[in-house]
Amino acid sequence: MELDVLTAISPIDGRYRGKTKALAAYFSEFALIKYRVQVEVEYFITLCELPLPQLKGIDSNVYETLRNIYRNFSEADAQRIKDIESVTNHDVKAVEYFLKEEFEQAGEQQWEALCQEYETDSRTGVKNLTARYRKKQQALVQERERLEVMKTFERKYADYSFICGIDEVGRGPLAGPVVAGAVILPKECEILYINDSKKLSAAKRDELYDEIMDKAVAVGLGMASPARIDEINILQATYEAMREAISKLSVKPDILLNDAVTIPGVSIRQVPIIKGDAKSISIGAASIVAKVTRDRLMVEYDKILPQYGFASNKGYGSAEHIKALQEVGPSPIHRASFIKNFV
């Protein structure tokens, strides 16, 4: 039953609705919740302006950000608090959970303002929430410091317009190709958590792959098949894959930062860096792109050749893989030069 003149319980919402409608902004349940939020925000700002000793260090520039919490307060926000309250049966707890969601949805730039607003709140749930986001802030500071170290070589060669990182994945497996990645990132590009792909979870690699592909100036991929590896050996096949990756870049690089190797047959200046995928953001990005590309390919091979467990072992010599080799024999994507000791 919808609310109208005939179904309203109170005449205020019924026959007199037209005359009292403007009062809804002040006397409705929505207004009660909104002004409760406004009181909390303004009370905090007043304590800052006294100033309360614990709040002396809070920047007054955050006040307007805090006021936007109630200025932009919507019926959806109020309904969310009511929905939470229907589960918790506690209006204060409902506000705590709402604040938690507000933190989680807020951008990083809003965390400080939100933490400052609520860190003096005596409620345990709110205290735990602000403490958690303080830790996240500190973790981000540490990550950015780590990332600055990874940009050492990029800063050293900053006079070059297009710096390209090169890395390969798949030199050691018994099956599948070796894949090389070449990535040119914009100057001062920030992609948090880039690292040697082997140090990252599969989920994090996938996430970073998308961000790299979105932000990179250019990305090139090269590949050498198992047959080619058997024909010319893994090292030469790796070089071949790297040259192909460079050739597929849409922008010609001015300098190459390589993970450990110097690639023959390339006229562009090269800088080999030992463990470069953990020391250069460009090489780290190339490592991630190559790893995700190869892993996804091996998952597709697993659909055709499920007996070898390629989806999980990615062609490396796991016990399951070796057992299948001995029982079933090699597949067309196995490297004959790598499996002599197993078949």
Same domain, yes or no: 159 and 72: no
For residue 100, the model assigns a pLDDT of 59
Final residue belonging to a domain, choices 126, 149, 172: 149
For residue 166, the model assigns a pLDDT of 98
Distance between CA atoms of residues 257 and 181, nearest Å: 12
Q: How many domains does the chain have?
A: 2
Same domain, yes or no: 135 and 165: no
Percent helix, strand and coil across the chain, each to the nearest 5: 60, 10, 30
pLDDT tens for each residue of 150-205: 999 999 999 999 999 999 999 999 999 999 999 999 988 889 999 988 899 999 99
Q: What is the DSSP letter of 156?
A: H
Closest CA to 178 of 226, 220, 219: 226
Residue 11 in this model has a pLDDT that exceeds 80: no
Q: Residue 172 burial (CB < 10 Å; 0-12/13-18/19+)?
A: exposed
Distance between CA atoms of residues 154 and 160, nearest Å: 9
In a domain, 189, yes or no: yes
- Secondary structure of 176-200 as H, E, C letters: CCEEEEEEECCCCCCCCCCCCHHHC
Grade residue 288 by pLDDT with cuts at 50, 70 and 90.
very high
Same domain, yes or no: 320 and 173: yes
For residue 53, the model assigns a pLDDT of 76
Q: What is the pTM of this model?
A: 0.66
Residue, of 221 and 82, whose pLDDT is higher: 221
Residue, of 91 and 332, whose pLDDT is higher: 332
Final residue belonging to a domain, choices 127, 149, 171: 149
Same domain, yes or no: 174 and 323: yes
In a domain, 338, yes or no: no
Same domain, yes or no: 231 and 249: yes
- The CA–CA distances, whole Å, from 103 to 56, 74, 132, 314 equal 23, 17, 10, 39
Same domain, yes or no: 126 and 109: yes
Final residue belonging to a domain, choices 149, 179, 203: 149
Same domain, yes or no: 128 and 161: no
Same domain, yes or no: 100 and 188: no
Same domain, yes or no: 137 and 271: no
Same domain, yes or no: 91 and 239: no
Same domain, yes or no: 90 and 167: no
Grade residue 51 by pLDDT with cuts at 50, 70 and 90.
confident
In a domain, 343, yes or no: no
Range of the domain at 21: 17-149
For residue 172, the model assigns a pLDDT of 96
Average pLDDT over every residue of 297-317 = 97
What's the length of the chain? 343
In a domain, 140, yes or no: yes
For residue 308, the model assigns a pLDDT of 97
Average pLDDT over every residue of 32-46 = 82
Average pLDDT over every residue of 259-273 = 97
Average pLDDT over every residue of 29-58 = 79
CATH number at residue 179: 3.30.420.10
In a domain, 241, yes or no: yes
**% the chain with pLDDT above 90:** 55
Same domain, yes or no: 185 and 139: no
Average pLDDT over every residue of 267-283 = 95
Distance between CA atoms of residues 10 and 109, nearest Å: 46
CATH number at residue 57: 1.10.275.10
In a domain, 21, yes or no: yes
Mean residue pLDDT of the chain comes to 86
pLDDT tens for each residue of 89-134: 777 667 666 665 665 555 555 656 666 666 666 667 666 766 776 7
In a domain, 342, yes or no: no
In a domain, 321, yes or no: yes
For residue 80, the model assigns a pLDDT of 81
Retrieve residue 51's tokens.
Answer: 């100033």
